[in-house]
Structure 1
Amino acid sequence: MGELRTHGVRTVIDLRRPCEYTGDVPDDIRLVRVDLDGDERDFWDPIELNGRWGTPLYYLAHIRDLPHRLAEVLRAIATADDGAVLFHCGAGWDRTGLVAAVLLRVLDVTDDAATADYLVSFANADAMARLHGRSFDVEERHEVLARFGHTAESAFRSMYGDLELDEWFGISGIDDETRVVIDTWRGSVTRSRSAPTRTC
């Protein structure tokens, strides 16, 4: 827990489902819980049936069909206390990967750099398993991706290349102020463009 303070973390955003909640954070660090998955069965049943959960193969559909879920996360980031924001799920390549991909795309981070960032979670899978004392089903994820003609790298790279956010921001219900905060990474980056002003 001391490492959170060392890295300047003032807010932790837990992206897991309520049934997964474990642990806590120090009293001087804000904990925000946002269920990124949700329980919209019409969405999740086919994805769980064919195994795409836990892979980038469902990211674009999630962003399109459940825009309110991601919007809640971005609002939590935008309204977090001053200081670093840490967001996490269980393994790091699923829900965390989705949010990270969106934040990187906002800044037009290159496909190569974003993909390399995503793959770090797979490289750290064994260490995560030892730390938590349980398997994160890495081989199963690889097998699922292979069934769809992908590796972890190609699945993320393909998704990231098709990740268009301007239209999503228009339908997400996110206000202009939040959009600017996200566009500038909480004011840490100067952007050449600002969020569009809606007239509706």
Structure 2
Amino acid sequence: MKSTLRVDGLANVRDLGGLERKDGTVTPKGVFVRSERLEQVDSDGWQALHSHGVRTVIDLRRPDERTGQVPTTIKHIHVDLDGSDETDFWAQYEEDGRWGTPLYYLAHLQALPDRLALVLNAIADADDGAILFHCSAGWDRTGLVAAVLLRALDVTDDAAVADYLMSFTNADAMAELHERSFEVEERQQILGRFGHTAESAFRDMYGNLDLESWFSESCIEPETRVAIETWRGAAASPRPV
């Protein structure tokens, strides 16, 4: 069963535990949490996260986006997943709107493998305890990292898609909490121009996410690969390690 998590100040938060894997098992709870920006989290919210086991927060946003504070009891790591200085890569995706959809994920992994490698290294090197990773909406950059982690444990396509679509389900609550639009209709229109729905775009990307090849080509350290493919030792790897 999908793990639920309620945190004051977050509307797009969830534990990635309880998702069905292809071998019939489920992902372990209390290892990875995904969310949107943390600025609205109050003391009760931080206590809920701490009680859930969160001991590390990884902020995936660009340097000029970073705001808010994290309690001293939780380690705070910043990793620019986008690669904000990679203007040549981003120009086409920003121009046509694909930057806010899964339609850029595979190209990003291929063209900028060092960016994901930084995130995975941070995950592997983190202190014991659950890791919360987030961007601004907890949707796109967070969705890319979540997709990689779910693929690493061979989470089924249906379960991975359902997790991604939860951000659409949570969009109204996010808009109310953060007092800003998360452009749901615009996202859907952009996807439609490229022949996709939100579901089909993520499903197509996830089905073509060849993590084995990415690991082989990225020259990532073996210890990091093991940490990702076992969810920091919390689960059996779907491949020999």
TM-score (norm 2): 0.79
SS of 1:53's partner is helix
| Residue identity opposite 1:29 in structure 2 | I
Return 5+ residue gaps in structure 1 as ranges. 196-200
Count of equivalent residues:
195
Within the candidate set 91, 98, 101, 1:55 is matched to 101
Partner of 1:183: 229
Tell me the alpha carbon deviations over residues 103-143 of structure 1, each in whole angstroms, 9 at most, x when there is no partner: 00011110000000000011101111111111111111111
Hey, what's the Cα distance between the residues in 1 that align with 2:237 and 2:188? Answer: 37
Tell me the alpha carbon deviations over residues 149-187 of structure 1, each in whole angstroms, 9 at most, x when there is no partner: 111101000000000011111121310011111110000
Tell me the alpha carbon deviations over residues 76-100 of structure 1, each in whole angstroms, 9 at most, x when there is no partner: 1111110000000111220000000
Do 1:71 and 1:173's aligned partners in 2 also have CA atoms closer than 8 Å?
Answer: no
- Change in Cα spacing, 1:27 to 1:192, as seen in structure 2 (3 Å) is same
| Residue identity opposite 2:68 in structure 1 | G
Q: Following superposition of structure 1 onto structure 2, how do residues 60-75 of structure 1 map, counting pairs within 5 Å? A: 60-75=106-121
Partner of 1:140: 186
Percent sequence identity is 69
Return 5+ residue gaps in structure 2 as ranges. 1-45
TM-score (norm 1): 0.95
Q: CA deviation at 1:192?
A: 4.9
1:105 aligns with 2:151: yes
Hey, what's the Cα distance between the residues in 1 that align with 2:172 and 2:206? Answer: 25
Hey, what's the Cα distance between the residues in 2 that align with 1:194 and 1:178? Answer: 15
Hey, what's the Cα distance between the residues in 1 that align with 2:63 and 2:219? Answer: 24
Q: CA deviation at 1:144?
A: 0.3
Partner of 1:174: 220
Hey, what's the Cα distance between the residues in 2 that align with 1:152 and 1:53? Answer: 13
| Higher mean displacement: 132-141 or 111-120 | 132-141
Do 1:17 and 1:35's aligned partners in 2 also have CA atoms closer than 8 Å?
Answer: yes
**Which portions of structure 1, spanning 4 or more consecutive aligned residues, are displaced by more than 4 angstroms?**
none
| Residue identity opposite 2:75 in structure 1 | R
**Structure with greater helix share of residues:** 1
| Residue identity opposite 2:79 in structure 1 | V
How large is the Cα RMSD of the aligned pairs? 1.0
Do 1:183 and 1:194's aligned partners in 2 also have CA atoms closer than 8 Å?
Answer: no
| Residue identity opposite 2:69 in structure 1 | D
